[in-house]
């Protein structure tokens, strides 16, 4: 039994890697990244087509339900003349959605992104195949019959389902499937709003849980492709029309930041209201299949009082940002939109959150901006206040800070709004995170016991080389030593005898394998046998220039707790050993 230090080896003596199990070497961009990127572009084209089809399906259902005509053009239900009979329309839609969820798949319930997050985190990004069909159809029915939701949530969920479906049909890893799911989701958002950069940021902040080239590149290509397809379908105009803005003054910028902070408080209230309503529905003595229809009663009643609270309401956002919608009419719309959306979403029907949050936030921002103007604040533009409120509400509720800022810019293409948006959204995020631990996207998952981490830091294990923490003086066993001799040594309790594994070297000092104490003390093995006779498997090694992350994954893949360390030029020459204790020590140094 000897302790060996680092041994220099001449290149002519270096053997091949044959018979060794070496770790997979991480590359920023591999050949698989090209394959996944190609698949992501295909998913994006499909998602962009689905976005157009869903918009037309919502238009068809809306026209049939509220106007009794066969027309697939996207229209608002606000112009209906049904009077009190309008209440029956969302109730009928809620009944249909409830039946689809009960006998099709309960996964169609909700607004899409939290469900996609759950699949990424706990189900290897596998979304049931039937969701690809059921989610857009159920959403079209819910929204088309007056549901106060945006079309973007179901489109994002459907795009994610398409990506997951491709990943399940083809032989890809769980990580590649996650990338395809995120690519489909980003493509769905990009195809809806023509906002490719914010779609990528949303995928990073809410779905990928990482910022790495191998996932970022496919998602970016998918988002760009979907935006290009949107331009081909509908033209290049921005999602929300807004007059040209002037550069903000210093005093106005302070007001916008304060508005963002106050909207952050409102985002907490809105999130808590949604989950409070959800808790009340869970206590109802009826099956959850009936909840969407019950919630739809409130949607219909709000629709009677404020017809513009029905449906998607993208036109309401346009009117807020141009200053056309203000005063009492705006307060009535935002109030009833908040009530109907909170109850409908809490009932578990199928719909999205982005458009309602934008409407509510825009209304709150507009009110605060108007109050600032009345108070004598110079340079404040109520339209900019509405824009800041719109984005700050989404930032505070979702905690997708960068996605919220860039989305508001891409959706309006007003560069002078970027600075107020950044300040306002940052303030909203700060206030929201201080007041509420979880977001509207993660609260449900947290209640199920999941721990959602959204902070991204450099991987200490990825940054550290194995050679810098491995033990250089290694206790080894000679391959031709008898088991009886080794057992006597183990019984002597000499230094090193408590180790659980020992590298085995031949007469030339080359690595043959690793044996454990259990192998050496196995009573089925006769004492006259040699140590080399109990080496059971090809030796798994790690290179001294490999990262600790690669070593960890190699340990997990091979089911071992230690790895001999070798060099790439002499892969049979032992230069050290790394154990789980060494990994913990390295992590502790952080």
Return the top range by mean pLDDT from 129-143, 218-232, 318-332.
218-232
The token pair at 194 is 């023509």
CATH number of residue 118's parent domain: 1.10.3080.10
Task: Verify that 442 and 551 share a domain, yes or no.
Answer: no
pLDDT at 462: 83
Location of structure tokens 């141009």: 322
Task: Verify that 66 and 193 share a domain, yes or no.
Answer: yes
Asked whether residue 8 is assigned to any structural domain, the reply reads no
- How many C-beta neighbours within 10 Å does residue 367 have? 21
> What Cα–Cα distance (Å) separates residue 21 from each residue in 26, 481, 572?
16, 25, 11
Is the pLDDT at 162 greater than 70, yes or no? Answer: yes
Last residue of a domain, one of 234, 263, 295: 234
pLDDT at 435: 94
Task: Verify that 432 and 520 share a domain, yes or no.
Answer: no
Give the residue-averaged pLDDT of 323-341: 91
User: How many domains are contained in the chain?
Assistant: 3
CATH number of residue 571's parent domain: 3.10.580.10
CA angle, residues 167, 193, 67, in degrees to nearest 5? 105
Return the top range by mean pLDDT from 200-204, 316-320, 420-424, 451-455.
420-424
Task: Verify that 220 and 348 share a domain, yes or no.
Answer: no
Q: Is 589 helix (H, G, I), strand (E, B) or coil?
A: coil
Is the pLDDT at 560 greater than 90, yes or no? Answer: no
Task: Verify that 68 and 177 share a domain, yes or no.
Answer: yes
Evaluated on CA atoms 246, 250, 253, 258, the torsion sign reads: negative
**Window from 188-202, 294-308, 511-525 with minimum mean pLDDT:** 511-525
Task: Verify that 409 and 506 share a domain, yes or no.
Answer: no
Helix axis angle, 354-374 to 152-169, nearest 10°:
150
Asked whether residue 242 is assigned to any structural domain, the reply reads no
Asked whether residue 470 is assigned to any structural domain, the reply reads yes
Q: 590 falls in which pLDDT band (50, 70, 90)?
A: low
Last residue of a domain, one of 402, 421, 447: 447
Dihedrals phi, psi of 100, to nearest 5 degrees? -60, -40
For residue 129, with 0-12 CB atoms within 10 Å meaning exposed, 13-18 middle and 19 or more buried, which class applies?
middle
pTM of the predicted structure, to 2 decimals: 0.83
Q: Tell me: the pLDDT tens digits for 443-492?
A: 777 776 666 777 777 778 888 899 888 888 888 888 888 888 888 888 88
Task: Verify that 146 and 226 share a domain, yes or no.
Answer: yes
The token pair at 202 is 């949303």
pLDDT at 3: 43
Domain that holds residue 346: 250-447
Asked whether residue 467 is assigned to any structural domain, the reply reads yes
Top pLDDT among 582 and 67 is at 67
Task: Verify that 339 and 297 share a domain, yes or no.
Answer: yes
Task: Verify that 202 and 299 share a domain, yes or no.
Answer: no
Give the residue-averaged pLDDT of 317-339: 91
pLDDT at 14: 39
Asked whether residue 22 is assigned to any structural domain, the reply reads no
Task: Verify that 417 and 533 share a domain, yes or no.
Answer: no
Q: Tell me: the pLDDT tens digits for 359-398?
A: 999 999 999 999 999 988 888 999 999 999 999 999 999 9
Element (H, E) at 4: strand 2-4
Top pLDDT among 510 and 455 is at 510
Task: Verify that 187 and 318 share a domain, yes or no.
Answer: no
Q: Which of 76, 61, 63, 66 is nearest to 359 (CA)?
A: 76
Asked whether residue 355 is assigned to any structural domain, the reply reads yes
Asked whether residue 17 is assigned to any structural domain, the reply reads no
CA–CA dist 245, 69 (Å, integer): 40
Task: Verify that 291 and 417 share a domain, yes or no.
Answer: yes
Is the pLDDT at 295 greater than 90, yes or no? Answer: yes
CA–CA dist 96, 564 (Å, integer): 62
Asked whether residue 7 is assigned to any structural domain, the reply reads no
Q: 95 falls in which pLDDT band (50, 70, 90)?
A: very high
Give the residue-averaged pLDDT of 43-53: 93
Q: 133 falls in which pLDDT band (50, 70, 90)?
A: confident
Last residue of a domain, one of 447, 471, 488: 447
The token pair at 209 is 């849980």
């Amino acid at each position: 039994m000897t302790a060996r230090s680092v041994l220099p080896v001449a290149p002519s003596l270096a053997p091949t890697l044959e018979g060794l199990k070496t770790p997979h070497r991480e590359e920023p961009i591999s050949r698989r990244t090209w394959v996944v990127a190609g698949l992501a572009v295909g998913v994006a084209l499909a998602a962009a087509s689905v976005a157009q089809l869903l918009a037309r399906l919502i238009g068809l259902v809306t026209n049939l339900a509220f106007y009794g005509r066969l027309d697939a053009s996207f229209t608002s239900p606000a112009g209906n003349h049904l009077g009190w009979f309008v209440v029956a329309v969302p109730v009928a839609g809620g009944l249909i959605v409830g039946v689809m969820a009960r006998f099709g798949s309960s996964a169609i319930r909700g607004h899409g992104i939290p469900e996609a997050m759950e699949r990424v985190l706990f189900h290897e990004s596998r979304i049931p195949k039937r969701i690809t069909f059921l989610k857009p159809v159920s959403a079209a029915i819910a929204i088309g019959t007056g549901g106060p939701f945006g079309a973007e949530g179901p489109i994002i969920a459907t795009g994610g389902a398409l990506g997951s479906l491709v990943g399940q049909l083809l032989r890809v890893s769980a990580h590649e499937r996650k990338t395809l799911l995120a690519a489909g989701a980003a493509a769905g958002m990009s195809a809806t709003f023509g906002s490719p950069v914010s779609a990528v940021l949303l995928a990073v902040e809410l779905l990928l849980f990482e910022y790495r080239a191998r996932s970022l590149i496919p998602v970016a290509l998918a988002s760009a492709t979907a935006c290009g397809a949107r331009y081909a379908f509908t033209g290049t105009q921005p999602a929300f029309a807004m007059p040209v803005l002037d550069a903000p003054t210093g005093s106005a910028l302070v007001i916008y930041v304060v508005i963002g902070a106050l909207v952050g408080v409102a985002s907490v209230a809105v999130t808590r209201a949604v989950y409070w309503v959800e808790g009340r529905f869970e206590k109802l003595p009826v099956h959850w299949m009936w909840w969407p229809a019950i919630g739809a009663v409130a949607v219909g009643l709000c629709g009677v009082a404020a017809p513009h609270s029905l449906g998607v309401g993208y036109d309401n956002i346009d009117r807020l940002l141009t200053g056309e919608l203000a005063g009492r009419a705006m307060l009535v719309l935002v109030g009833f939109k908040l009530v109907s959306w909170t109850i409908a979403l809490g009932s578990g029907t199928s719909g999205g959150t982005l458009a309602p949050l934008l409407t509510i936030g825009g209304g709150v921002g507009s009110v605060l901006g108007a109050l600032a103007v009345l108070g004598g604040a110079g340079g404040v533009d109520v339209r900019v206040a509405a824009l800041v409120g719109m984005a700050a509400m989404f930032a505070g509720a979702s905690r997708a800070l960068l996605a919220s800022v860039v989305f508001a810019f891409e959706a309006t293409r007003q560069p002078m709004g970027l600075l107020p948006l950044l300040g306002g959204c940052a303030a909203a995020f700060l206030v929201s995170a201080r007041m509420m631990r979880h977001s509207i996207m993660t609260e449900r998952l947290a209640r199920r016991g999941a721990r959602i981490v959204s902070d991204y830091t450099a991987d200490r294990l990825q940054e550290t080389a194995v050679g810098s923490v491995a033990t250089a003086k290694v206790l080894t066993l000679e391959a031709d030593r008898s088991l009886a001799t080794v057992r006597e040594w183990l019984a002597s309790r000499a230094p090193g005898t408590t180790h659980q594994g020992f590298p085995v070297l031949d007469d030339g000092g080359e690595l043959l394998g690793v044996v454990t104490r259990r192998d050496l003390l196995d009573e089925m093995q006769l004492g006259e046998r040699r140590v080399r006779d109990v080496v059971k498997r090809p030796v798994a090694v790690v290179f001294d220039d490999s990262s600790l992350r690669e070593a960890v994954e190699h340990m997990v893949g091979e089911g071992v707790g230690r790895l001999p360390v070798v060099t790439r030029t002499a892969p049979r020459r032992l230069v050290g050993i790394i154990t789980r204790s060494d990994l913990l020590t390295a992590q502790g140094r952080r």
